[in-house]
């Protein structure tokens, strides 16, 4: 599976990528063809040089027949080889000969104007095996061939192609080496042969490259089109799968919000019934106690109405309306605005502070807002007039932390075990469903909601969201 994933990176997904792939393949093909042509060229050139060397060796041996006397031959092998080499120098293009003894040391030249030189080690190894050796020099200065020429006096020394052929000197029917003769041959004809060879090899290489390139494109283009079509189909399947996942997530979210709404309606049932019963058996009254009762009832009804309206907003968002993005700072500002009226009525200051920032989807932000608004309203109710509450946001490892701190007197110990149970309000006139709904929303978000601190100086509720709910890394 891992290898398939790695190979997938090399599959071209656009025409530009395909063109780059073809260009690279053609480049590799060109390098391969050029390397092969250089190898063939060197091999053919070596064979051409060896052909001329063997031909000259054979000619020298043939000249020995013409030099053989009718009677007994009392000349040495070196003399016979020297004479036959000199006779062979009459061949067209031979500029001169250098002679070497059987140890490879220089002994003489013909004519005397030829520049003496030492015998190369490779040439000596060949003649020791009684084999000729050839070497082509494409640009050999004339002063390396001749000791003196009249043209040297002008100071202009030209370069000419030279073919050096070194042959062993020995009797025809013996394998006894007597010496060596190095023929210096004008190599213009050999250079022209090499040029014709190079031209022919270039034509072959160009034809091979063109045919192979056309064949490569013809073979890979249908495959690329097929891969491109499969990628397009794969992308469409991926989009459909993503839509199906979004629909499943939306269904789960709607179910969660439906459960929240059911709990909300269930929690509102008893308080509203009590309020209805209270109104049915009491008139407005004129005493201060009666007015306080009416004020408490009005406050409770307004809180319940606010919770209903906020829940309905989340319901509308979860039913598929256009989503948007919200930063943590914007979420905090929105929560502040929602509780501003309650805080102003209670003469309580609300402070907000965020360390860092990240972006949330509107659905996640709205659900978190339900929790934070409820916690802040509880904090405002618990804080005496003139006090203050705060909402702070921070990051701890991979957790986004929201803390709501009030200035109340804390919870009694006997209430700590059922803070998040429905119908168990810690406040007079409360319905007991706010913290219960907040807990269920936190569970749906895979977050945690808990009472972090409860002292006579106030309480701190902590909402912890996993960092993966952020659409981008925090600042």
Residue 214 domain-assigned? Answer: no
> How many distinct structural domains can be found in the chain?
2
Range of the domain at 58: 27-186
What per-residue confidence (pLDDT) applies to 61?
78
Using CA atoms of 120, 121, 122, 126 in order, give the dihedral in degrees to the nearest 10: 100
* Closest by Cα among 329, 294, 336 to 429: 294
Distance CA 256, CA 242 (A): 21
Per-residue tokens: 262:
């059911």
What is the three-class DSSP state of 411? coil
Neighbouring C-beta atoms of residue 317, cutoff 10 Å: 20
Residue 233 domain-assigned? Answer: no
What per-residue confidence (pLDDT) applies to 282?
56
Indicate if 304 and 444 belong to the same structural domain: yes
- Output the 3-class SS for 150-171: HHHHHCCCCEEEEEEEEEEECC
Distance CA 92, CA 297 (A): 131
What per-residue confidence (pLDDT) applies to 315?
53
CA-angle at 311, arms to 309 and 313, nearest 5°: 75
What per-residue confidence (pLDDT) applies to 5?
46
What is the three-class DSSP state of 291? helix
The size of the chain, in residues, is 475
Indicate if 256 and 168 belong to the same structural domain: no
State whether the Cα torsion 239-241-247-249 is positive or negative: negative
* Closest by Cα among 426, 14, 4, 390 to 231: 14
Residue 149 domain-assigned? Answer: yes
Indicate if 139 and 43 belong to the same structural domain: yes
Indicate if 129 and 261 belong to the same structural domain: no
Indicate if 181 and 252 belong to the same structural domain: no
Distance CA 361, CA 328 (A): 10
Residue 323 domain-assigned? Answer: yes
Per-residue tokens: 218:
């013809």
pTM over 0.85: no
Q: Identify the domain boundary among 138, 160, 186.
A: 186
Residue 312 domain-assigned? Answer: yes
What per-residue confidence (pLDDT) applies to 445?
83
Return the CATH number at 368. 3.30.565.10
**Bond before 111 cis per omega within 30 degrees:** yes
What per-residue confidence (pLDDT) applies to 201?
93
CB–CB of 87/67 below 8 Å? yes
Indicate if 177 and 253 belong to the same structural domain: no
- The Cβ-side half-sphere exposure at 396, using a 13 Å CA radius, reads 9
Residue 250 domain-assigned? Answer: yes
Q: Render each residue's pLDDT in the chain as its tens digit; 475 residues.
A: 444 445 555 566 677 877 888 888 889 989 999 999 999 999 999 999 999 889 888 888 777 665 555 544 545 556 666 676 677 667 788 888 899 988 989 998 888 889 999 999 999 999 899 899 999 999 999 888 888 888 787 878 889 999 999 989 876 667 788 888 899 998 898 999 999 999 999 999 999 999 988 988 888 888 778 877 887 888 888 888 887 777 676 666 656 656 666 555 555 555 655 555 555 555 555 566 566 666 666 566 656 656 655 655 555 555 555 567 888 889 999 999 999 988 999 899 999 998 877 888 887 888 888 899 989 998 998 899 999 999 999 988 888 899 999 998 888 888 888 888 765 555 554 556 778 888 888 888 889 999 999 998 899 999 999 888 777 655 4
Q: Exposed, middle or buried, 179 (CB in 10 Å: 0-12/13-18/19+)?
A: buried
Contacts of 290 (CB under 8 A, 6+ apart): 282, 284
Return the CATH number at 87. 3.30.450
Per-residue tokens: 24:
């690279």
* Closest by Cα among 17, 88, 16 to 57: 88
Residue 262 domain-assigned? Answer: yes
The b-or-e profile of 88-126 (16+ CB within 10 A means b, else e) is: bbeeeebbbbbbbbbebeeeebbeeebeeeebeeebbeb
Query: What is the distance of C-alpha 332 from the center of its chain?
Result: 39
Per-residue tokens: 375:
């916690």
Indicate if 324 and 421 belong to the same structural domain: yes
Residue 42 domain-assigned? Answer: yes
Q: Identify the domain boundary among 162, 186, 210.
A: 186
Indicate if 162 and 296 belong to the same structural domain: no
For residue 393, what are the β-bridge partners?
354, 402
* Closest by Cα among 56, 65, 140, 64 to 91: 56
Per-residue tokens: 142:
């004339």
Indicate if 285 and 158 belong to the same structural domain: no
- Which helix (H) or strand (E) is 64 found in, with range? helix 15-67
Indicate if 418 and 307 belong to the same structural domain: yes
Indicate if 278 and 378 belong to the same structural domain: yes
What per-residue confidence (pLDDT) applies to 32?
92
Distance CA 336, CA 343 (A): 9
What per-residue confidence (pLDDT) applies to 34?
93
Distance CA 318, CA 300 (A): 27
Quote the DSSP letter at residue 401.
Answer: E
Q: Identify the domain boundary among 186, 211, 228.
A: 186
- Which helix (H) or strand (E) is 86 found in, with range? helix 77-88
Q: What are phi and psi of 130, to 5 degrees?
A: 60, 35
Rg (CA), the chain: 52
Distance CA 387, CA 383 (A): 6
The b-or-e profile of 399-414 (16+ CB within 10 A means b, else e) is: ebbbbbbbbbebeeee
* Closest by Cα among 132, 45, 130, 59 to 93: 59
Indicate if 158 and 291 belong to the same structural domain: no
């Amino acid at each position: 599976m891992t290898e398939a994933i790695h190979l997938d990176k090399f599959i071209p997904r656009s025409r530009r990528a395909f063109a780059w792939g073809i260009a690279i393949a053609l480049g590799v093909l060109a390098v391969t063809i050029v390397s092969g042509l250089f190898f063939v060229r060197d091999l053919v050139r070596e064979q051409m040089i060896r052909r001329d060397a063997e031909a000259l060796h054979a000619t020298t041996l043939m000249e020995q027949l013409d030099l053989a006397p009718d009677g007994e031959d009392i000349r040495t092998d070196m003399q016979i080889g020297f004479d036959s080499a000199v006779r062979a120098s009459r061949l067209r293009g031979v500029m001169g000969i250098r002679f070497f003894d059987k140890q490879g040391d220089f002994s003489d030249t013909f004519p005397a104007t030829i520049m003496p030189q030492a015998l190369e080690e490779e040439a000596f190894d060949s003649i020791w095996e009684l084999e000729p050796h050839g070497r082509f020099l494409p640009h050999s200065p004339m002063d390396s061939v001749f000791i003196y020429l009249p043209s040297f006096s002008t100071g202009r020394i030209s370069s000419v192609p030279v073919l050096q052929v070194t042959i062993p000197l020995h009797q025809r029917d013996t394998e006894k080496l007597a010496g060596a003769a190095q023929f210096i041959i004008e190599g213009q004809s050999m250079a022209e042969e090499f040029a014709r060879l190079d031209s022919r090899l270039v034509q072959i290489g160009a034809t091979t490259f063109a045919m192979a390139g056309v064949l490569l494109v013809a073979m890979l283009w249908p495959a690329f089109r097929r891969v491109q079509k499969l990628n397009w189909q794969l992308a469409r399947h991926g989009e459909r799968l993503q839509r199906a996942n979004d629909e499943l997530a939306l269904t789960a979210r709607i179910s969660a919000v439906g459960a929240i709404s059911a709990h909300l309606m269930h929690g509102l049932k008893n308080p509203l019934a009590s309020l209805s019963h209270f109104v049915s058996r009491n008139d407005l009254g004129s005493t201060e106690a009666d007015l306080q009762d009416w004020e408490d009832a009005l406050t409770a009804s307004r809180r319940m109405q606010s919770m209903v309206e906020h829940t309905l907003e989340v319901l509308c968002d979860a039913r598929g309306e256009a989503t948007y993005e919200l930063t943590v700072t914007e979420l905090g500002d929105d929560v502040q605005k929602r509780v501003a009226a309650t805080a102003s009525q209670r003469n309580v200051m609300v402070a907000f502070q965020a360390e860092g920032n990240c972006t949330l989807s509107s659905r996640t932000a709205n659900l978190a807002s339900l929790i934070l608004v409820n916690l802040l309203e509880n904090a405002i109710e618990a804080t005496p007039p003139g006090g203050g509450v705060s909402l702070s946001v921070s990051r701890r490892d991979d957790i986004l932390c929201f803390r709501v701190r009030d200035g109340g007197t804390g919870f009694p110990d006997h209430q700590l075990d059922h803070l998040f149970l429905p119908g168990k309000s810690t406040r007079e006139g409360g319905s007991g469903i706010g913290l219960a709904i907040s807990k269920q929303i936190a569970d749906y978000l895979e977050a945690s909601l808990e009472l972090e601190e409860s002292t006579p100086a106030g309480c701190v509720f902590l909402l912890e969201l996993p960092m993966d709910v952020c659409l981008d890394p925090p600042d």
